[in-house]
Amino acid sequence: MFTRKRTAIFFFLGGIGCFIIAALLVWHFTGKFVSSGPTTVAGPMPGQIEVVSSNSEARENKGNRQPSKWVIYITGSIKVPGVYEIESGSRVYQAVDKAGGLTSEADPVAINLASALSDGMHVHVPSLEERSNSPDPPVPSTATGKISHSYSSNVQGKTDINRADISELQTLPGIGPKTAENILSYRKERGCFNSIEELLKVKGIGPKKLEAIKDCVTCYPR
């Protein structure tokens, strides 16, 4: 009997002791640790990612978009010389039509009607009299830096690098679209070539490539 009472008292006192220890631990550690919140950062939902991507692509496409209209200046033996707006990607014959067509004095053989235009270009249509008085191709306009398609870019079987368009340049040995574009960019930024050897300054043309094309090209210095 006495043993059971003593055991009960022992468990009672032990329970009180555990409660006191637990209370002391709670009191001691309260406020010691600050919750830093969730560590996972939520990203945009899949639908939002698509919207952001679409907007970025739209801005990029807008930046790369070419103007829908070009402004060209056409003079010479045409019915209504002047400055005209024309659709981008147009050819010389379309500019001639825009200016009312050729006059009876025009020399239709002296101009390449199929040549490609570019924004800001000066196109001059020579007359038969001009052609007879000027056997050599005229010097391109240095004021605009653009090449005037007054005469054919093919002179005595050679391609004039100061007048040839991108398609004509690509007929040269080893000259692809990229190198042809580089030639046109050089011509636009620095003006006409003074010599065939100046092609070495064009990106993509080295001594070996120049050697392959030098007998196929010509140029008229400024």
**Rounded average pLDDT over 79-94:** 92
pLDDT in tens, 137-148: 444 433 333 444
Query: Residue with structure tokens 């196109």?
Result: 123
Of the candidates 220, 186, 222, the residue with the CA atom closest to the CA atom of residue 204: 186
Task: Please tell me the predicted confidence (pLDDT) of residue 126.
Answer: 86
The pLDDT score that the predictor gives to residue 146 is 40
Predicted confidence at residue 153, as pLDDT, reads 55
Q: Where residue 109 falls among pLDDT bands split at 50, 70, 90? A: confident
The percentage of the chain sitting over the pLDDT mark of 90, rounded to a whole number, equals 26
Do residues 222 and 194 lie in contact, with contact meaning Cβ atoms separated by under 8 Å? yes
* pLDDT score of 150: 42
**CATH 3.10.20 segments of the chain:** 66-152
Q: Is the pLDDT of residue 79 over 70?
A: yes
Which secondary-structure segment (H or E) carries 179? helix 177-190
Distance of alpha carbon 217 from alpha carbon 222, whole angstroms: 16
What average pLDDT does range 152-162 have in this prediction? 69
Under CATH, which number does the domain 66-152 receive? 3.10.20
Distances (CA, A) of 193 to 137, 149, 154, 185, 210: 14, 16, 16, 12, 14
- Judge whether residue 168 has pLDDT over 50: yes
Q: What's the pTM?
A: 0.38
Return residue ranges of the chain for CATH 1.10.150.320.
153-222
Instruction: Enumerate the β-bridge partners of residue 123.
Output: 74
Could you tell me the pLDDT band of residue 190, with boundaries at 50, 70 and 90? confident
Residue 135 is predicted with a pLDDT of: 45
At 30-61, the pLDDT tens digits run 655 545 555 555 555 555 545 455 555 556 55
Average pLDDT for the chain = 75
Fold of 153-222: DNA polymerase; domain 1 (1.10.150)
